[in-house]
């Protein structure tokens, strides 16, 4: 079997590479080509030109080798719909079977598509053999809107628990002792991810528990507000803003922390910070949303919270600090649960899907 993977320039690149390496480990022939949004700031004309050029390159690649599968990483938003439509229009009729994977779906958009967008998306669904979505909520929404159930599959993202090994010097390097309860928030700092709610909750927790620390990992437009809040509430000694760090660097934080706090209300598909925390075997406080709701249970794996209720978030944080048995059970359960998403298991599921596509 030969597969051509369309992978993004930056966003989800490491995830795509992990997926590809897993499939390659089963002696499947895999090649890659750029596909998806560029991180460079360009005007719409340049983006359109880039999309057309990419589509032509993909078409040439499909002609140069007899690929069985074209795997395109995408999203469900206006920009992605236009990009996918242009690409599939240029590809035209091809014997290569097409698998489209959406990394998060804006379900509000699904019910509010403009007429021309719906025509574009209908064409996309007609041309692809399978569209993979990351949660049952997304799949059900597409089906209820009228799209064929046999074309919409729920798929997972892979994780590698072996990468999350405790760094024994992490705490000492940061002048934190082993008794300090460490919380982490890891995400792009945008309003819907819940950074400010976490800071509000942490302030409440700090009034009762002093030996705690919060690491906020990432960057984004909410950074100035976060800095001001930390300064005004005198939290500097207990909160660290790391700024943007690489995916590899985040692993030390996941592996050495006690709990992730992630009260997102964003249109998450498969929130990787939640599943990376699962792989690291730490506790999780998050919103009941999408893939997290599909695979994880309260209180076995996590504690559910209302994303805008910082009092409830604070109570969940204090519950973890005070209940050592709950923490240990959650840690043990999450290490076991993470095995379900291992790279090799994920690869087998994809290979089975591709094999069925080729046969049909």
pLDDT digits (tens, 9 = 90+) for 152-205: 999 999 999 999 988 889 999 999 999 999 999 999 999 999 999 999 999 999
DSSP letters for 128-152: -SEEEESSHHHHHHHHHTT--GGGE
Average pLDDT of 119-142?
A: 97
Per-residue model confidence as pLDDT tens digits over 246-291: 989 999 999 999 999 999 999 889 999 999 999 999 999 999 999 9
When pLDDT is averaged across residues 117-132 and rounded to a whole number, the result is 98
- Angle, helices 44-64 vs 78-91, to 10°: value is 40
Residue-averaged pLDDT of the chain = 95
> Going from the N-terminus, what domains does the chain have, and what CATH number goes with each?
2-158+343-359 (3.40.50.2000), 161-341 (3.40.50.2000)
Q: Is 59 exposed, middle or buried (0-12, 13-18, 19+ CB in 10 A)?
A: middle
pLDDT, mean of residues 193-219: 98
pLDDT of the residue at 39: 44
Evaluate whether 170 touches 304 at the Cβ level (below 8 Å).
Answer: no
pLDDT band at 38 (very low <50, low <70, confident <90, very high): low
Task: Assess contact for 254 and 277: CB atoms under 8 A.
Answer: yes
Q: What region, left, alpha or beta, does residue 231 occupy, with left being phi > 0 and alpha being psi -120 to 50 degrees? A: alpha
What pTM was estimated for this model as a whole? 0.94
Closest CA to 201 of 237, 175, 239: 239
Q: What is the CB neighbour count within 10 angstroms for residue 211? A: 12
- State residue 146's pLDDT score: 96
CA 301/CA 303 separation, integer angstroms: 7
């Amino acid at each position: 079997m030969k597969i051509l993977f369309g992978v993004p320039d930056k966003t989800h690149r490491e995830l795509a590479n992990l997926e590809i390496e897993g499939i390659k480990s089963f002696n499947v022939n895999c090649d890659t080509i750029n596909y998806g949004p560029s991180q460079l700031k360009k005007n719409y004309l340049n983006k359109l030109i880039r999309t057309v050029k990419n589509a032509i390159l993909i078409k040439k690649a499909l002609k140069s080798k007899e690929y069985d599968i074209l795997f395109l990483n995408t999203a469900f938003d206006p920009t992605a719909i236009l990009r996918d439509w242009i690409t599939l229009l240029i590809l035209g009729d091809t014997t290569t079977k097409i698998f489209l994977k959406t990394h998060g779906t804006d379900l509000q958009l699904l019910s509010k598509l403009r007429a021309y967008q719906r025509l574009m998306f209908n064409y996309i669904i007609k041309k692809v053999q399978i569209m993979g979505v990351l949660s049952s909520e997304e799949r059900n929404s597409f089906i209820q809107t009228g799209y064929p159930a046999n074309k919409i599959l729920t798929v997972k993202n892979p994780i590698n628990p072996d990468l999350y090994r405790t760094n024994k010097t992490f705490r000492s390097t940061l002048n934190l002792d082993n008794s300090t309860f460490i919380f982490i928030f890891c995400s792009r700092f945008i309003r819907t991810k819940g950074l400010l709610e976490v800071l509000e909750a942490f302030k409440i927790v700090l009034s009762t528990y002093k030996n705690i620390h919060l690491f906020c990992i990432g960057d984004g437009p909410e950074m100035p507000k976060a800095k001001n809040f930390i300064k005004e509430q005198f939290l500097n000694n207990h909160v660290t803003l790391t700024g943007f760090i690489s995916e590899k660097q985040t692993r030390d934080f996941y592996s050495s922390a006690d709990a992730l706090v992630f009260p997102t209300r964003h249109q998450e598909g498969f929130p990787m910070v939640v599943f990376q925390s699962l792989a690291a075997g730490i506790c999780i406080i998050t919103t009941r949303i999408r893939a997290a709701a599909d695979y994880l249970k309260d209180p076995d794996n996590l504690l559910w919270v209302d994303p805008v209720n910082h009092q409830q978030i604070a109570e969940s944080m204090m519950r973890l600090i005070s209940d050592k048995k709950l923490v240990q059970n959650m840690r043990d359960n999450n290490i076991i649960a993470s095995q379900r998403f291992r790279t090799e298991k994920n690869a087998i599921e994809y290979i089975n899907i591709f094999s069925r596509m080729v046969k049909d």
